[in-house]
Structure 1
Amino acid sequence: MQDRVTIDCQDRVATVTLNRPDKYNGLDLEMMQALVAAARRIRKQRGVRAVVVHGRGKAFCAGLDFASVMRKPSRILAGFLPWWRKGNLFQRLCLDWRDLPMPVIAVTHGYCFGGGLQLALGCDFRISSPDCEFSIMEIEYGLIPDMGGSVTLRELVPADVAMELAMTGRRFGAAEALDLNLITRIDDQPLTAGKDMARALALRSPDAIRGIKRLLRSTRHGSERRALRRERQLQLRVLLGSNQREALKARNEKREPEFRDR
């Protein structure tokens, strides 16, 4: 069996490829486990400063491969059990990318349905091809969006919009996804654009990049006082690090900075 997910690291960027093109990268249990394993491997890999997640073939991800998963229903129940405290298998395969310290860019094309859309929403940025189709289609199987959608959707769209999309399961295009704030931007060459963005982010201070992600993630729903306190804490940590001094020195000397990975 070919690897469900592959990882290629170059120029401090990890490119993660969903590798089941004959099934439009549909999520079977092996694919789900491989996505969780890939996120955990990248977390431990020193030197990775940005991540690109994309699908091989004609689609990003067509969602749950229901026929494959239902061949062994007991394995579905098992997927709910191991991680009650920090989310189960189905939730972690999306939210583990959100929880990585470095920025993660999803590149979507073709189909981005169900669990595939929830995976994309778990990333920090989403760059889409103009012809990509989206849907929160769990309702077609009599299900709710249970792969972290309750966390990511509320951060991006109003409650009534989230409910309308989840309750109808309707398909919509990239232009509407952009209007709804579900994607970051549209590009005719989304994979190239995603990799270019990742390489640009990888050239910045990793301390500052990680600090920005941590700050904006941790203060999204808190009070103003808590946000300002967190801002001070993280800025002090950055100021005490060697990478901030290197950024300032390189700027004054008009050269590219040489940052250290921690």
Structure 2
Amino acid sequence: MTDTSAPTAPSTSSAPGTDQLVTTEYSESIPGLVHVRLNRPRKLNSLTIDLLQQLISTAHALRRDRSVRVVILSGTEGNFSAGLDFADTLKSPPRMLSHFIPRPLRGTNTFQEAPWTWRRLPFPVIAAVEGYCFGGGVQIACGADFRFTSNDAHWSVLEAKWGLVPDMSGIMSLKQLLPIDEVKRLAMTGEIFSGERAAELGLARAVEDPLAAAEELARQIIERSPDSMALAKKLVDETWESGERRTFARERLRQARLLVSKNAEIARKAAQKKIPPKFRPRAVR
């Protein structure tokens, strides 16, 4: 949620649908890398329904692009996100309530799908956190596969301040990252803590330059087969809370597919010849 102690700027208004609240930039220096940025800098990149919808549609568009290898999520002008913009979201209660209704196939409403849609993508997603990362911002960051934060970033599961609970898929992602008592403490107190403390808790890795660290990890990932990266992500996510038999079965299923894949053959031949592999576009959907 947007924190009233954070600096604010005058409101801006545009006709519905005209704001580019989420920007997409394909990297020229790292082919296959896409930067996705929350883009409400005058409001600390706080979240509106329109912004959440654009996050979802951006993820869907990137999923269809087989050339995408890694996405880095960040915010514009030094802030990740100050959380939900209550003034904007509550100005039309009927509209807000309509976006509370879950999608039958996904099981998520708009607020939940905007962070969780990044978990569904068949390529890694890295969050680079600077400045404010409050409420829904934390939950979007936790929807990524990896998180880097500056030491002086400000984090908070801020919903408690507003008499609410983390509801943007937050409990699901937080319980995968933290012990149960820490999840309860953060959800009950709304404590504001530094990026350094976030790293101590296990929410992110603290670095001097989150974007640079995210790009370095992206370079390493892009050196590997896009199909093995996609199925590694899927395998971990789909078996995280599974028992041995289901996990072993999924391992066999995913590995069998990779063993006969063209990109695995390319990787093997490149390793034997000690040359950089030139992979085909991702075959995994």
Flag whether TM exceeds 0.5 (same fold).
Answer: yes
- Residue 230 of structure 1 is matched in structure 2 by 250
Instruction: Work out the CA distance in 2 between the residues paired with 1:240 and 1:151.
Output: 34
Instruction: Give the TM-score, by structure 2 length.
Output: 0.89
| Count of residue pairs the alignment pairs up | 261
Q: Is the 8 A contact 2:134 2:157 kept in 1?
A: yes
Q: Which amino acid aligns with 1:189?
A: D
Q: Which amino acid aligns with 1:8?
A: E
Instruction: Work out the CA distance in 1 between the residues paired with 2:70 and 2:275.
Output: 22
1:165-184 pair list within 5 angstroms: 165-183=186-204
Q: Is the 8 A contact 1:58 1:109 kept in 2?
A: yes
Residue 4 of structure 1 pairs with residue 21 of structure 2: yes
Q: Which amino acid aligns with 2:191?
A: R
Q: Deviations over 1:189-212 (max 9, x none)?
A: 111111221122122101111111
Q: Which amino acid aligns with 1:134?
A: W
Q: Deviations over 1:18-74 (max 9, x none)?
A: 111100000011111111111111111121011100000131000001111111111
Higher relative helix content: 1
Q: Is the 8 A contact 1:95 1:148 kept in 2?
A: yes
Instruction: Work out the CA distance in 1 between the residues paired with 2:172 and 2:227.
Output: 26
Residue aligned with 1:38, SS: helix
How far did residue 130 of structure 1 move? 1.1
Instruction: Work out the CA distance in 2 between the residues paired with 1:25 and 1:45.
Output: 26
Instruction: Work out the CA distance in 2 between the residues paired with 1:2 and 1:158.
Output: 39
- Residue 183 of structure 2 is matched in structure 1 by 162
- Residue 208 of structure 1 is matched in structure 2 by 228
- Uncovered stretches (5+) of structure 1, i.e. residues with no partner: none
Residue 19 of structure 1 pairs with residue 42 of structure 2: no
Of residues 109, 113, 116, the one that matches 2:130 is 109
Percentage identity across paired residues of the two chains? 41
- Uncovered stretches (5+) of structure 2, i.e. residues with no partner: 1-17
Residue aligned with 1:8, SS: strand
Of residues 13, 18, 29, the one that matches 2:49 is 29
- Residue 142 of structure 1 is matched in structure 2 by 163
Q: Is the 8 A contact 1:12 1:199 kept in 2?
A: no
The alpha-carbon distance between structure 1 residues 144 and 84, as it changes in their structure 2 partners (threshold 3 A), is farther
Q: Is the 8 A contact 1:54 1:106 kept in 2?
A: yes
Q: Deviations over 1:197-251 (max 9, x none)?
A: 1122122101111111111111110001111111111111110101111111111
How far did residue 115 of structure 1 move? 0.1
Q: Which amino acid aligns with 1:225?
A: R
Q: Which amino acid aligns with 2:130?
A: H
Residue aligned with 1:25, SS: coil
Q: Which amino acid aligns with 2:121?
A: L
Q: Which amino acid aligns with 1:68?
A: D
Q: Which amino acid aligns with 1:26?
A: S
Residue 188 of structure 1 pairs with residue 204 of structure 2: no
Q: Is the 8 A contact 2:150 2:196 kept in 1?
A: no
How far did residue 84 of structure 1 move? 4.2
Q: Deviations over 1:69-108 (max 9, x none)?
A: 1111111101012514410000000000011110000000
Of residues 107, 111, 122, the one that matches 2:143 is 122
